[in-house]
């Protein structure tokens, strides 16, 4: 595998090649994903739920994300690694740059943060300092208490219009990638078509430029419930490498996610 870069992802969008992404938190799974077709790994604050057993992601610290980023980077030098900035670590440009720098030094290629137009100054400051940025709109888990739970976003026309406006603002500020989570598939397509940067969906239909799943959902071992937008590929294939390969194949072909995994 050639080294994956921002240019690689942009070329894939332009050529309509789907981007495959999974979360990972250690070297072993990073190597497994590298060997079986995944292009992007997210070291997500989802670790607060799937590794630490929390009810949400809010207790995760920047040091914990940095630790797991180092572990993931040890598993692959070629994969494109995105690291999450945790809750309240980017409330102003100075904090955003400081905490993002720690994650970049740990091995990340790009930093992800949740929110819309209000992040303009932080994103601009980060990109000016050489830190690539991934935005995140829709169901942003760090705002779960504002939403009143893990709920679908963007169903109301006003919400949809605001999300499109936010997406354009993030791109204008310098974001080079955008995650869209738990939004109607029609809205995800609209945003994807109007942006020049790649979009990666999770619970956003199959019209985004790529897909991401939490690795535990991919193999059916998440605590609690399996989200509607996920699929247990291990159950279908019987072993881990084959499950990852099947996920990548289905994303590339457009077979996953199917209509049963999307929101209207």
pLDDT tens digits, 22-36 = 999 999 999 999 999
Question: H or E stretch including 207?
Answer: none
Can you read off the two tokens belonging to residue 202? 């999770």
Task: Return phi, psi of residue 204, to 5°.
Answer: -130, 25
Strands 40-43, 177-181: pairing kind: unpaired
Feature table: binding site: 45-46, 84, 112, 114
Among residues 185, 51, 94, the alpha carbon closest in space to that of 43 is found at 51
Q: What percentage of residues in the chain have a pLDDT greater than 70?
A: 96
**Active-site residue, from 102, 171, 181, 262:** 181
Top CATH class, 6-261: alpha beta
Residue 120 has pLDDT above 80, yes or no: yes
Longest Cα pair distance anywhere in the chain, in angstroms?
Answer: 47
Among residues 76, 107, 56, 69, the alpha carbon closest in space to that of 2 is found at 76
What was the pLDDT predicted at 40?
98
Instruction: Count Cβ neighbours within 10 Å for each residue of 73-107 and write b for 16 or more, e otherwise.
Output: bebbeebbbbbbbbbebbeebeebbebbbbbbebb
Active site residue 260: no
Feature table: binding site for 3-methyl-2-oxobutanoate: 45-46, 84, 112
* Overall average pLDDT of the 210-238 stretch: 87
DSSP labels for 228-261? TT---HHHHHSSHHHHHHHHHHHHHHT-SS-GGG
Q: What is the pLDDT of residues 59-110, one digit of tens each?
A: 999 999 999 999 999 999 999 999 999 999 999 999 999 999 999 999 999 9
Residue 146 has pLDDT above 70, yes or no: no
Q: Are 68 and 84 in contact (CB under 8 A)?
A: no
Residue 191 has pLDDT above 60, yes or no: yes
* Overall average pLDDT of the 174-200 stretch: 97
SS3 99: helix
SS3 82: strand
What was the pLDDT predicted at 143?
79
> What is the distance of C-alpha 257 from the center of its chain?
15
- The better pLDDT of the pair 27, 139 is held by 27
- The better pLDDT of the pair 76, 227 is held by 76
Please, what is the average pLDDT of the chain?
Answer: 94
Long-range contacts of residues 155-158, Cβ cutoff 8 Å, at least 24 apart: 155/184
Feature table: binding site for Mg(2+): 45, 84, 114
């Amino acid at each position: 595998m050639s080294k994956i870069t921002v240019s690689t992802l942009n070329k894939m969008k332009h050529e309509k090649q789907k981007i495959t992404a999974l979360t990972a938190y250690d070297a072993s799974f990073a190597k497994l994903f590298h060997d079986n077709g995944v292009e992007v790994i997210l070291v997500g604050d989802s670790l607060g739920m799937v590794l630490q057993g929390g009810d949400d992601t809010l207790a995760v610290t920047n040091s914990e994300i940095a630790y797991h980023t180092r572990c993931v980077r040890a598993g692959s030098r070629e994969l494109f690694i995105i690291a999450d900035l945790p809750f309240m670590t980017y409330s102003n440009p100075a904090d955003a740059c400081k905490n993002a720098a720690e994650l970049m030094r740990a091995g990340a290629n790009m930093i992800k943060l949740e929110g819309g137009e209000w992040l303009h100054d932080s994103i601009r400051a980060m990109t000016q300092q050489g830190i690539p940025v991934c935005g995140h709109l829709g169901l942003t888990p760090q705002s779960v208490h504002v939403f009143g739970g893990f709920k679908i976003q963007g169903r109301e026309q006003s919400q949809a219009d605001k999300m499109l406006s936010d997406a354009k603002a993030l791109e204008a500020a310098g974001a080079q990638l955008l995650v869209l989570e738990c939004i109607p598939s029609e809205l995800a397509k609209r945003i994807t078509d109007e942006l020049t940067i790649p979009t990666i969906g999770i619970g956003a239909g199959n019209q985004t430029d790529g897909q991401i799943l939490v690795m535990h959902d991919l193999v059916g071992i998440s605590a609690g419930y399996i989200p509607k937008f996920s699929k247990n590929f291990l159950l279908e294939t019987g072993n881990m490498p084959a499950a990852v390969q099947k996920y990548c194949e289905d994303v590339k072909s457009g077979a996953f996610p199917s209509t049963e995994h999307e929101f209207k």
